Amino acid sequence: MTIYQSYPIHRCVFRNDSTALAELLRDNTMKSRINELDHHGNSPIHLALMLDRRNCILVLLRNGCDIITRNTYNWNPLDEAVMLGDIDIVEKITLMKYRDYARGFAVSGGKLEEWNTVLPSVHLKLKIKFKSQVPMIAKICPKDTINFYKKGNFFRIDTTCAGFDTRGIPRMIKGNISIIAKFQIDGMCRILLLDHKKKAYQELYPEMPQWLINNLLKSNIDIKTLFKIFLDTSNFVIKQKKGGLLKKTKRTIQMERGKSYRADLFKAKDFKLIIRKRFNESTIGDRKSDIRTKIVNVEQSRNKTMKRNSNEIGFNDTELVSNKLMSIEKSFIIDSKSNKNSNSGSKFGKKGKSRKDESDDESDDESDDDSVISAEESMTRSSSHRGSINGEPIVRESLFQKYLDESILDYKDFDIYVSKTIYDIIYRGSDKDGVKVTEADMLYLRQMYPGYTEYLMAGFQEDYQLVNEQNKRAMTKRVSKDGKTITYEVKDDFEDTLNWDEAYAQHEKAVNTAANIEKARKEKEWEEKVARIKNFDWENSKVNEEQYFNETNAGILHMGRIMSIDEERKTFNNSIKLWMSHDNTFPINLAQMQPLIDYLSLMFFDQVNKTDEEDHFDRDEYRYGIQCIQKMIQAEKRFPLKVIIPVLTTVKAQLRFVDCNTNPNDISDQLFEIPENYKYGEIYFMNVK
C-alpha cells in the first residue's frame, strides 16, 4: 500500500515532518482529507497532540482542521491539548473552537436557518430564582430576570447579572447587562456586550477582549484531572401527574400584560450523570498508552437511552447504535480485580419529609407523595459510585456514612452542622459512641469528597493557635484540700475539665493522627505511581510507523500517555416539576425551540463540525433521547411555563416564564443596535474575583 493510499497526512504527523505536511496540504484533494480518521479512530490533529508534534499541530491549525469533534476515545483536540500543557496551543485551539461554534450555527442550511423557519421572531421573559428553606443559604441565593429577543438572525439577551464575587461568601453582582449577537448569511457573526449603567459597550466576538481570553484559558491551564460528562437517560421518565384530594396538578399561571394560561403538572425522575475522570501520570512518547481504568461497567458507562423500546416512537436503528457503542467501549482496558465488588454501595440519610415548595410571586406549589423517601429506599435507589483514584482500595463503609448524603457532589455543599460534626469526630479521634476513626474512614472521606481531608487539615492548623490562646486564657488555679498541691485546669468542649497538658496532648494527637494518615496516603500514592512507570514495558509498547498503519492491527488506540480513567455516577432521585401549558394555548410550543436545543446538544457532544452523521454514535444517542423526551412531554403542543429543579438537598432552582410575544412588530430593530450615547470601554462581565 502506497503512502497516498494509507493516511498520508497521518504519516507526516507520525514522522514529525511538518515541511512535508505543509506541502501535502497545498493540494486541495489532500486538504479535503485533513479530518480523516485512521483505522484507530484518530484524526491527524488528535495524533499530533498525542505525540506532541508541535510544528505539525501548528500546520494543521493553520489549514483549518476540525478542533471540535471527538475521536473514538471520546477526547476532543482541546482535551488532548490541555493534557499536553502547552499554553500557546491551548489558546489557539480555544479561540478556534468558539469561532467554529459561531460559524456552525449560522452556516447556510444550518440550525439558525431552520429556526427562522419555525420561529422567526419571539420575545421571552424569564425569571430565575434559587430558593432554600435554610435561612443562611436563602440569603445568598441569586435571582435574575432575563429577556430574550429573537428577530431573524439577530438576538439579544438582557440580564441583571453582571458577574460573581467569590471573595468570602459567593454572591451575584447585580447590574444591567445586554448581549447582542448579529449573524450574517455567510456564517460570520458579531457579538457585543453592553453595560447600561456605565453606558458602555465592548466587542466579544470576533475580536475577543483579553479578560475574556484569560478567563477561558484559566480553566484549561495546569489541569491535572480531565472531566467528561455523559448522560444516562435509560430510566429517565416524564409523566403527567393525576390530581387527587390532596394533590393539585392543574393551575392557572398569571403572566404580564394581563395574560394567564392553564397548566398541567408533569414530573421528571431518575436522571443520571456519568462523570468520567482522566488523570495523566506520565508522557511515554511514541508508545501505546497504558490506561488503567476503574470503571464499574464499561459497556454501560455511556448514554443508555437506546436501551428503551424503540417501537414506542418508531425508531428502528437501535440495534445498530447499540452495536457501535459496544464495539467502541470494549476498547477500554478493564481492571477486573478492582471491579469484583464495585457494584456494592450504600447511601445513608435522614428520612425525607413531605414539604411544600417555596412559593413564587403568586402562589405555592403543593407537596406531593414523591418527596417522601425512606432511608432504606434511598439506599436501594442510589447508584452513585465513587471509585479509587490511584489504585487504592475502594472503601464502601465508614462511620461517617450516617452523617453524609452521597447526592451532594462537593463537601463545600455540606450543611454547616454536618461539617462541624465530622470535624469534631476527627478532632476527638472517635464518634460519640466511642467508635475510633481509622485510616479506612479517612480514605472514605477522600474518595467521596476529594479535597476534604486537606480542608480539614487546614482547619486543624488554623484552629490550633486559636485553641492554644483560648485555653491559656481559660485556665483556672485550684488548690487541693491539703493546701499544698496546685493544678491548672481548663474548660473544653469535649470534657468537663482538662488540665492544660492533657488538653494540649489531646489536640496534638488529633492533628498528628490526621496528618499522619494524609501523609501516608500521599506517600503510598507516589510509590504506586513510581512503580507503575518503572514497571512499564517501554520496549514492547513502542509503536513504529509500520505497526501503527498496519490495517491488520486496526482497533482503537491511544498514544503517548500513561493515564488512569476513573468514573462515578450521580443519580438525581428528586423529581423535576414542570408546569406545562394546555394543548396549543401558549403562543409557542417546545418543539419550536428544537433547532436551538439541537445545536446546544451538538456542542455538548463535541459534534458541531461532524458531517458524516451516521458514523458517530453520539448523534444517534442524542436523537433517540430527544425523541423519547419529546413524546413524554408532548413538546409539539405544550410549553413549560414553570420548572422547579432540585439542585442540592436544600436548594431548588425555579424558572418561570412571565411573558411571550411572537409579533415581530413589537420587537424593535433598535434593540439590536448600540445606543448613540454609549462609548467603547472595558466591561468585565462574569468576572470571578
The confidence score (pLDDT) of residue 293 equals: 82
Backbone phi and psi for residue 174, each to the nearest 5 degrees, phi listed first: -75, 145
What's the CA gap between 195 and 178, in Å, rounded?
A: 7
Backbone phi and psi for residue 7, each to the nearest 5 degrees, phi listed first: 50, 65
Tens digit of each residue's pLDDT (9 = 90 or more) over 50-63 = 999 999 999 999 99
Tens digit of each residue's pLDDT (9 = 90 or more) over 250-285 = 999 999 989 999 999 999 988 888 888 888 888 899
**Residue 12 pLDDT > 90:** yes
**Residue 151 pLDDT > 90:** yes
Backbone phi and psi for residue 288, each to the nearest 5 degrees, phi listed first: -65, 135
Who contacts 343 (Cβ-Cβ below 8 Å, separation ≥6)?
296, 385
What's the CA gap between 537 and 522, in Å, rounded?
A: 25
The confidence score (pLDDT) of residue 511 equals: 63
Q: Is 677 exposed, middle or buried (0-12, 13-18, 19+ CB in 10 A)?
A: exposed
Backbone phi and psi for residue 549, each to the nearest 5 degrees, phi listed first: -95, 5
What's the CA gap between 178 and 671, in Å, rounded?
A: 10
What's the CA gap between 218 and 210, in Å, rounded?
A: 12
Tens digit of each residue's pLDDT (9 = 90 or more) over 570-605 = 887 788 999 999 999 999 999 999 999 989 988 888
> What DSSP element (H or E) covers 44?
helix 44-50
Per domain, the residue ranges of the chain are 8-106, 397-547
Q: What is the mean pLDDT of the chain?
A: 77
Whose grid coordinates read 509500520? 546
What's the CA gap between 405 and 409, in Å, rounded?
A: 9
Pairing relation of β-strands 290-294 and 271-288? unpaired
Mapped onto helix, strand or coil, the DSSP state of residue 633 is helix
What's the CA gap between 193 and 196, in Å, rounded?
A: 10
The confidence score (pLDDT) of residue 295 equals: 67
Beta strands in 465-589, from DSSP E residues, in sequence order: 476-479, 486-490, 498-499, 559-572, 576-581
Tens digit of each residue's pLDDT (9 = 90 or more) over 483-514 = 544 454 444 444 445 555 666 666 666 666 76
- 8-106 CATH fold: 1.25.40
Pairing relation of β-strands 559-572 and 271-288? antiparallel
47 close to 559: Cβ distance less than 8 angstroms: yes
Band of the pLDDT at 457, cuts 50, 70, 90? low
Name beta bridge partners: 292.
Answer: 564
Q: Name the residue with higher pLDDT: 507 or 170.
A: 170
261 close to 641: Cβ distance less than 8 angstroms: yes
Helix axes 416-428, 452-474, angle to 10 degrees: 70
The confidence score (pLDDT) of residue 30 equals: 92
Per-residue burial over 625-663, b = 16 or more CB atoms within 10 Å of its CB, e = otherwise: bbbbbbebbbbeebbbbbbbbbebbebbbbbbbbebbbe
Asked which of 7-16, 24-33, 35-44, 412-421 is least confident by mean pLDDT, the reply is 412-421
Who contacts 13 (Cβ-Cβ below 8 Å, separation ≥6)?
21, 44, 47, 48, 51, 53, 56, 60
CA 38 → CA 14, 55, 277, 323, distances in Å? 12, 20, 25, 20
The confidence score (pLDDT) of residue 35 equals: 93
Q: Name the residue with higher pLDDT: 415 or 442.
A: 442
Q: Helix (H) and strand (E) counts for the chain?
A: 19, 20
Who contacts 422 (Cβ-Cβ below 8 Å, separation ≥6)?
400, 403, 414, 445, 456
570 close to 273: Cβ distance less than 8 angstroms: yes
pTM over 0.75, yes/no: no
